[in-house]
Structure 1
Amino acid sequence: MTVELHDLLPAELRRSWVVDGTCPDLDLYSLFRARQIMDLHHTAVLDAKGKLCYTALDRKVRCLATGLRDLGIRPGDVVGVQLPNHRNAVIADLALAALGAVALPFPVGRGSLEAECLLRRAEAVAVIAATEHRGAHHAAELHALSPVLPALRHVIAAGPGTAPEGTVPLATLLRGDPSGFVPARPDPDSAARILVSSGSEAEPKMVAYSHNALAGGRGNFLASLIPDRTPPRCLFLVPLASAFGSNGTAVTLARHGGTLILLDHFTPEAALAAVAEHEPTHILGVPTMVRMMLERLDATSEKPAADRKPVTGERQRETLTALILGGAPLDEPTAAAAAQAFGCHVVNLYGSADGVNCHTGLDSTTPPTDDAGVVAGRPDPRVAEIRIADTDTHAEVPDGGIGEIVARGPMTPLCYVGAPDLDARYRTPDGWVRTGDLGFLDEDGTLHIVGRLKDVVIRGGANISPAEVERELRSHPHIRDVVCVGVPDHLMGERLAACVVPRSGEVPTLDSLGQHLTQRGLEQRKHPERLLVVAELPLTPAGKPDRAALREHLAQASVHEAPAAPSLAPAG
């Protein structure tokens, strides 16, 4: 074990969900093997290379597990995975589970600053990364970090191209003889995967999940959206390496024996083509992605949106069950347009890497709405029980009262990784997770979201921590002070604005901010897209920067636009 991962839930409560059948009490690889044995040639993965059945996938998993074992990867070791949505990401997930190791996936495109932070705090002993993906050379970049990561012993380079010097080619590991491999059979309540969430902290949060929490709690979430219990065909528009994407290997394959339909890079054209060609039963994405797909349909049709032809043909409309949208609030016009275009239920998912999940279900074609807040559906105790707590006393609030949303249940994670301060801040002594979100439960037990305690910008379903961006911008030579806030945006939900007090009359530009952040290792999706220059920051009576006043100023002022929008990022 490279880093201590302890369970903050009472052991008797965790085991009670095994006793009552809520959690399967098997490790992820054992669950996958059981599915493989049930249907040897069922399609497991459909990606840019074509189809891969369960039996062929299992052989590759065993080959990689053998190769990783020979490199010295042991049960409890943390191994980073930075790969696009491709069969290699699935193979890595299952191979690490078979070894009893802990996977730490993070999406391609994440900057070296964040990658170094994740690998260092998790004490990762190895990382599997793409040799090249869309102009980024992650394997080489991560190998260059080796001198500052004493725990890191191996960088494994995946994909086409020559593996950088000093790295181990994934192709070599996949050519091993798997005949003698014996799976580790880890404790189902031990750590299997670390989910990454930018949240509201200056550094990304890492959250450790057990096999049971993934296949049980998160698996029950998807089960509630499979009315006929047949293995689903899930089109993932979000990265498998995101928190939302953890519903891929562990849930779609291992728990439900389904098929993963993967795009190595989201574009609205590719997503629409995949829907038409591969006949998914479920599509998982963020509202921004769907808005982009709907806009593309509008652009290719002379008819108004209300008269738009459906995306799907008759056969697809019979098989497509749900469009599941999370990561950001879903507005009513987008939901209605999507339901018409895709001919299926549109589900609003409220959830996070921290251990909360609630959705609007299949009772109606579009999510219900009201004027009191975003309707998030009725909590499912087989996934996560939800309560409302007073923000000051933390006592439970009666139904109808607004307070902080707290959650506890089968999907509750073990703990935060390498961050006892976050455990103390966000976990109660009896294991409840404090979300930092404000909401209430109505008389029918339906959850409504009304706001956020924590300061986070959600751009296209991806969490951006203003504190993280502010920290890096404060080292800019022309900035004296800076506050970053979110501003509403029709397409992306929110965009990040930098409110800057210049130093010595030198006024920075958006270009210079972006260049500085790139040099600091911050990926482009976190760069500000608006710039407001002020002589002084307004302050609240308590002496803190008045973010509400800045947002109001941004709404009224003429602001500088970013020359090009950063690429769309996944849901977290």
Structure 2
Amino acid sequence: MTPRIHDLVPTALRRSWATSGHYPDLDLYVLFRAHRVTDPHRTAVIDAQGGTSYAELDDRARCLAAGLAEAGVCPGDVVGIQLPNGWPAVAADLAIAALGAVALPFPVGRGSREVRSLLSRSGARAVIAATEQRGVEHARDLVALADALPALRTVIAAGTGPAPEGCLSLDDLLRTGRADFAPARTDPDAAARILVSSGTEAEPKMIAYSHNALVGGRGNTLAALLPDRLPPRCLFLVPLGSAFGTAGTAVTLARHGGTLVLLDRFTPDAALEAIQAHRPTHVLCVPTMVRMMLDPLAKEPRPPTGLTALVLGGSPLDANTRGEARRAFGCPVVNLYGSADGVNCHTGLAGNAEPDPGLGVTVGTPDPAVCEIRIAPLPGTGPAEPGDPGEPGEIIARGPMTPMCYVGAPELNMRYRTADGWVRTGDLGILDDDGTLRVVGRLKDVVIRGGANISPAEVEGELSAHPDVRDVICLGVPDPLMGERLAACVVPHYGRRPTLESLGAHLAARGLERRKHPERLLLVDDELPLTPAGKPDRATLRARLTAPGTPTHHAQAG
């Protein structure tokens, strides 16, 4: 059974944002269709198979929508999408919107346990999955889960070769569907998409967004980065199935009539080749991906041309990476703070000055067309009243991009939503006197060493400026004496070999007290592992640190 998706934002507020022009007040398929009508030959998607025009993509989406309808998908049904970046993933997004159904995308690579949890708790009626991706047969695996997913009626396999037994074929649906399919008339305040966030919960969180919140609120985030208001050409190095990737179909195409440049798998060389070949205006990725591209750029300088901005989100952006990237790519580097839970804020294009070296990471001035941001007094359980400027507290947000609710998790709605529509982010932040937001860390992401709290984000920010460090993640590891100790997982610059002593000396010189210095060091000689969503994989790093026989460096216990 599909859980009821209800909007926790008061209706009067939603309507006020529409009246103010922050919402287009149209569903995302209607918006996409308008671009198809006005410029049918414009390129919508560039992927490994070449270019796909708006007209071609629309025909495929309408055929797929007709095929899904014949397979029993109805308006309001949840449809999972587990596909790599490419036109089929985009066509699936559009087809589901045209049906008035709700898309639940998640990246390839998620384990079967997480996938089962997502599909079960959402009551998904159908899922479109890759026949095979990097050796994993996603569609076949989903058929095997059928007994545990009573609501799931249909598995659709996408990819080369025959569909596994028990699956429909995406190619067959595209061939037999009707391009004259009549799309549903969908309320723009109805649910369009469920975003998935691993967060800090035991199971992935699912957050429902309306059409207006996606194309309006989230669309306004990108609108502020389009200085000439021309359709953007966006290279997405993050999966479209991630929260960050939501800016693909709904925002880049439906809202802004742009072009998506897609790689089905990120590698530094492939990303740099795509930048040279396809001349994107914007590159959207996480800081770790940029750091991985900086080394080949240093060895073989090939300054990209035509870039309006690198837009970096998903994890904190340190000043060192920002500066190196701006010099290497020759364009502004935008630090995007955001989450699936309902907050976006970025540093913008204007000036793109060096960040202020004060406390936390500067992430720009909140845009009321996206969301208003306040700082709630800790521990964040009181009324959503703004704190004094400069006082740290929990970041709370409410505005046009605010999602409807958590799906299948009423306890999360109780914990993170207020009666008047505010979202508690679980992040610590400060609003300066001039309205600039600084993110200090996570309320839950704290290492407790002998009763003293340590923010890993603070230590990471300082270590990123060490001359031997190319990339770094800090996290807590269990310790029988102190409860936890701080560990640093470091990717060194080529030919460098940092030590705990050199890292400690660097932190001491920057004024960080001794108790915050890492006491374990794991040197990662290749790259930091990434999750399917493209973020640093802290769980894998923690497993390496705690595995018997892993070579790590220890500080003297105490």
TM-score of Structure 1 vs Structure 2, range by shorter chain: 0.7 to 0.9
SS class of match (1:555): coil
Indicate how the Cα distance of structure 1 residues 382 and 238 shifts in structure 2: closer, same or farther if over 3 A, else same.
Answer: same
- 1:7-156 to 2 correspondence within 5 Å? 7-156=7-156
Which moved further from structure 2: 561-570 or 385-394?
Answer: 561-570
The alignment status of 1:383 with 2:370, answered yes or no, reads: yes
Aligned counterpart, 1:470: none
In 2, Cα distance between the equivalents of 1:559 and 1:494? 10
Aligned counterpart, 1:556: 519
Indicate how the Cα distance of structure 1 residues 431 and 367 shifts in structure 2: closer, same or farther if over 3 A, else same.
Answer: farther
In 2, Cα distance between the equivalents of 1:170 and 1:421? 37
Indicate how the Cα distance of structure 1 residues 159 and 428 shifts in structure 2: closer, same or farther if over 3 A, else same.
Answer: same
Indicate how the Cα distance of structure 1 residues 338 and 396 shifts in structure 2: closer, same or farther if over 3 A, else same.
Answer: same
In 2, Cα distance between the equivalents of 1:562 and 1:140? 35
Letter in 2 for 1:377: G
Indicate how the Cα distance of structure 1 residues 277 and 558 shifts in structure 2: closer, same or farther if over 3 A, else same.
Answer: closer
- 1:339-354 to 2 correspondence within 5 Å? 339-354=326-341
In 2, Cα distance between the equivalents of 1:101 and 1:135? 30
SS class of match (1:68): helix
Q: 1:431, CA displacement in angstroms? A: 0.7
Aligned counterpart, 2:387: 397
Aligned counterpart, 1:530: none
Aligned counterpart, 1:356: 343
Q: 1:185, CA displacement in angstroms? A: 1.7
Deviations 1:318-368 (A, max 9, x none): x21010000111111111111111111100000000000000001123552
The alignment status of 1:311 with 2:303, answered yes or no, reads: yes
In 2, Cα distance between the equivalents of 1:553 and 1:406? 27
SS class of match (1:175): helix
Letter in 2 for 1:556: E
Q: Is the 1:215–1:255 contact (alpha carbons within 8 Å) kept by the matching residues of 2?
A: yes
The alignment status of 1:411 with 2:401, answered yes or no, reads: yes
Aligned counterpart, 2:220: 220
Identity percentage of aligned residues: 61
- 1:410-449 to 2 correspondence within 5 Å? 410-449=400-439
SS class of match (2:297): helix
Q: Is the 1:405–1:437 contact (alpha carbons within 8 Å) kept by the matching residues of 2?
A: yes
SS class of match (2:59): helix
Match of 2:441 among 451, 456, 464: 451
Q: Is the 1:355–1:407 contact (alpha carbons within 8 Å) kept by the matching residues of 2?
A: yes
Indicate how the Cα distance of structure 1 residues 329 and 549 shifts in structure 2: closer, same or farther if over 3 A, else same.
Answer: closer
In 2, Cα distance between the equivalents of 1:53 and 1:149? 37
Q: 1:40, CA displacement in angstroms? A: 1.1
SS class of match (1:174): helix
Indicate how the Cα distance of structure 1 residues 130 and 20 shifts in structure 2: closer, same or farther if over 3 A, else same.
Answer: same
Q: 1:130, CA displacement in angstroms? A: 0.3
SS class of match (1:62): helix
Q: Is the 1:346–1:367 contact (alpha carbons within 8 Å) kept by the matching residues of 2?
A: no
Letter in 1 for 2:35: R
In 2, Cα distance between the equivalents of 1:36 and 1:456? 48
Q: TM-score, normalised by structure 2?
A: 0.84
In 1, Cα distance between the equivalents of 2:161 and 2:217? 39
In 2, Cα distance between the equivalents of 1:377 and 1:564? 29
In 2, Cα distance between the equivalents of 1:42 and 1:410? 29
Q: TM-score, normalised by structure 1?
A: 0.82
Q: Is the 1:80–1:105 contact (alpha carbons within 8 Å) kept by the matching residues of 2?
A: yes
Q: 1:571, CA displacement in angstroms? A: 4.9
Q: 1:569, CA displacement in angstroms? A: 3.9
Indicate how the Cα distance of structure 1 residues 21 and 283 shifts in structure 2: closer, same or farther if over 3 A, else same.
Answer: same
Letter in 2 for 1:207: I
Indicate how the Cα distance of structure 1 residues 18 and 570 shifts in structure 2: closer, same or farther if over 3 A, else same.
Answer: same
In 2, Cα distance between the equivalents of 1:267 and 1:452? 29
In 2, Cα distance between the equivalents of 1:261 and 1:352? 23
- 1:167-316 to 2 correspondence within 5 Å? 167-298=167-298, 300-301=299-300, 309-312=301-304, 316=305
Q: 1:452, CA displacement in angstroms? A: 1.4
Q: 1:136, CA displacement in angstroms? A: 1.2
In 2, Cα distance between the equivalents of 1:385 and 1:150? 41
Which moved further from structure 2: 177-186 or 234-243?
Answer: 177-186
Q: Is the 1:288–1:493 contact (alpha carbons within 8 Å) kept by the matching residues of 2?
A: no
Letter in 2 for 1:452: R
Letter in 2 for 1:40: P
Q: Is the 1:78–1:104 contact (alpha carbons within 8 Å) kept by the matching residues of 2?
A: yes
Aligned counterpart, 2:466: none
In 2, Cα distance between the equivalents of 1:369 and 1:355? 26
Aligned counterpart, 2:307: 320
Q: Is the 2:476–2:485 contact (alpha carbons within 8 Å) kept by the matching residues of 1?
A: no
Indicate how the Cα distance of structure 1 residues 14 and 269 shifts in structure 2: closer, same or farther if over 3 A, else same.
Answer: same
Letter in 1 for 2:393: G
Q: 1:563, CA displacement in angstroms? A: 10
Q: Is the 1:335–1:366 contact (alpha carbons within 8 Å) kept by the matching residues of 2?
A: no
Aligned length: 491
Q: 1:398, CA displacement in angstroms? A: 1.5
Q: Is the 1:200–1:456 contact (alpha carbons within 8 Å) kept by the matching residues of 2?
A: no
Q: 1:162, CA displacement in angstroms? A: 2.1
Letter in 1 for 2:237: L
Q: Is the 1:360–1:368 contact (alpha carbons within 8 Å) kept by the matching residues of 2?
A: no
Deviations 1:140-169 (A, max 9, x none): 111111110110111110011221111111
Letter in 2 for 1:311: P
